[in-house]
Amino acid sequence: MAKKIPMRMCVSCRERFAKKELIRVVATPDGQTVIDPTGRLPGRGAYVCHDPECMKKALDRQQFDKGLKKSVDAESIRPELLKLQEEPEKRGSGPDGADAGKPKKAEEGK
């Protein structure tokens, strides 16, 4: 059995994604609202997906307010959020790659 993947909903498109596919925005205990790339900050979180449209909508329509149950100053998180959006698909940049050790399937019937 595979491990259960925690799913979260994008505040904008309301689609569900694996938690790590989303960007977490956190209302910290000291009253700030911050982007939490690590997903580890304490506080109530709301999530948005990497779709630029979703980010804009979430900011423009104050959709984080609902998720965080407080009034969010969208402008304070907008620059940082949009920075994350611009990140090109540079998935190969980590220490090396995913498809190194794929076992070959032998499909010979005797």
Residues within the interface to Zn ion (CB under 5 A): 10, 12-13, 49, 51, 54
Beta strands per DSSP E along 10-109 = 16-18, 23-27, 33-36, 44-48
Minimal distance in Å, beta carbon 88 to Zn ion?
19
Question: CA-to-CA distance for 84 and 103, rounded, in angstroms?
Answer: 35
- What φ, ψ does residue 65 adopt, rounded to 5°? -55, -45
Minimal distance in Å, beta carbon 54 to Zn ion?
3
Minimal distance in Å, beta carbon 56 to Zn ion?
11
Minimal distance in Å, beta carbon 52 to Zn ion?
10
Sheet with 33-36: list strands edge to edge: 33-36, 23-27, 44-48
Which CB sits closer to Zn ion, 13 or 34?
A: 13
Which CB sits closer to Zn ion, 10 or 27?
A: 10
Which CB sits closer to Zn ion, 10 or 26?
A: 10
Q: Comparing C-alpha atoms, which of 44, 86, 79, 41 is closest to residue 64?
A: 44
And the tokens for 98?
């995913």
Which CB sits closer to Zn ion, 10 or 68?
A: 10
